Amino acid sequence: MHFDSSTLIPVLPEIFILTMVCLIMIIDLFLDESQRQTTYLLTQISLAVTIFITLLVSSPETQVVFDGSYIRDPMSDGLKVFICIISMVAFVYSKEYLLKHDQFRGDFFVLGLFAILGMMVMVSSASFLSIYLGLELLSLSLYAMVAFDRDSKTGSEAAMKYFMLGAIASGMLLYGISMIYGATGHIGFSEVASAVATSGTDNTVLVFGLVFLVIGLAFKLGAVPFHMWMPDVYHGAPTPVAMFIGSAPKLAAFALAIRMLVDGLEGLHADWQGMLIILAVLSMALGNVVAIAQTNIKRMLAYSTISHVGFIMLGILAGTNEGYISSMFYAITYGIMAVCSFGIIIAFSRKGFEADQLDDYKGLHERSPWFALMMLFVMFSMAGVPPTVGFFAKLFVLDAVISVGLTNIALIAVFFSIIGVFYYIRIIKLMYFDKPVDDTPFEASIDTKVVLSVNGTSLLILGLFPASLLSICTAAFG
């Protein structure tokens, strides 16, 4: 068999990041505690160069290499760039937390890079086998990251729960893949799509396989009723790990849904649309209602994530290009909002104080008016209040759902969004109208303050000029 080295060009971002993570792992072994910043800097440089390489090899045409198991297209290019940008921001905030809590170790960044590599493989998968490999690489890295604080009992408990439930979900996904392979004789998405179109949609084994695929997908997204791990993991994991899990992997999960359901099983749209409608409505209902009862901000953000996942699913289930564009826009927007919300929690935490209770944010405006304003932008954006970008994310998804005649589902989404506004506005009320319970001065490094300011104001700027981000999403499905 003749090997053509030009087939490696589309895979250069993954090759580079794998090379760098191996190099960083070796370099980190020879560094003492005082030199640990080197690992952090190498990690950030690696992600910046990965973005550059991704843009360098990008083109409007689709390229499929490695016997149809890897695809490079505008969607994968866009998602990879945003995964790297969001991860870079997350690592800036993480450094702040790890230094404050005497946990600044190289393994955090190495595991993070392995997780990013897993996400990039998922985003560019053109077969069930490669997407499963990417998913497992991501999952195994996240399990280890949740248990990063070895002295934390809640962290260890959260990691065990996440690992056990994740293993079950992976088994379900693999079982679904095996049934689809049995029904079609293929694992490549384009071949499966052709087989489904040829054999028709009445194949019972195919539909059964689809059910197990959707269960595995729902777990990775954190959709109800497969959400049980999410509040416990967000609460028990160190805050930077909760931030990482809640941001970039959501873009990879969106890609997982598009590759499997749209690229591979679009012929079964009527079947998976019905399943996603149930998951989306349950996620928006339970996420928004249960979030109201939370007193811990990390648990509240976990239930908030569940409700946002419902919106991401709404765009996908529409089954149109407009729906997929709106869903990608929502996933990217949510990643930016999530990383900013956790960044503010990290900025206000210190050794022995996690800043994870709602009461910790009382009178925040008096202690730090600027970062109270950043938190206000985040909460307004998550609630979908104009002119923040969260408003347009919801608007585009609702428009896509209404355009395919699912007006009732759109009305349900609006109803639960209005309920969700309550717990976001509650934090704004605590910050601006209550007296502070803690007068400790706000201390954070200059890079954290700068990145947090850019991150927070970007939610307003993208809301005022949504066309820039929308054009990237439109090009992905052009």
| Residue 361 pLDDT level (bands cut at 50, 70, 90) | confident
Mean pLDDT of 441-465: 89
In this predicted structure, the answer to whether residue 202 has a pLDDT above a threshold of 70 is no
The pair of structure tokens assigned to 300 is 């509240």
Q: What is the pLDDT of residue 2?
A: 59
State the chain's maximal CA–CA distance in angstroms: 73
| Residue 355 pLDDT level (bands cut at 50, 70, 90) | confident
Q: What is the pLDDT of residue 254?
A: 92
Q: What is the pLDDT of residue 3?
A: 64
Half-sphere exposure of 197 (CA within 13 A, CB side): 10
Mean pLDDT of the residues in the chain? 89
The pair of structure tokens assigned to 240 is 């930077």
Parse the chain into domains and list their residue ranges: 5-476
Q: What is the pLDDT of residue 221?
A: 86
Helix (H, G, I), strand (E, B) or coil at 351: coil
Q: What is the pLDDT of residue 443?
A: 77
Query: Which run of H or of E encompasses 305?
Result: helix 297-317
End-to-end CA distance of the chain: 35
Helix (H, G, I), strand (E, B) or coil at 299: helix
pLDDT tens per residue across span 228-238: 889 999 998 88
Q: What is the pLDDT of residue 86?
A: 95
Indicate the pTM of the whole model. Answer: 0.94
**Percentage, residues of the chain above pLDDT 70:** 99
Task: Report H helices in 185-228.
Answer: 189-199, 204-221
pLDDT tens per residue across span 394-423: 999 999 999 998 899 999 999 999 999 999
In this predicted structure, the answer to whether residue 91 has a pLDDT above a threshold of 90 is yes
* Dist CA 348 CA 359 (whole Å): 13
Q: Which amino acid is at 7?
A: T
pLDDT tens per residue across span 236-273: 888 999 999 999 999 999 999 999 998 888 888 888 88
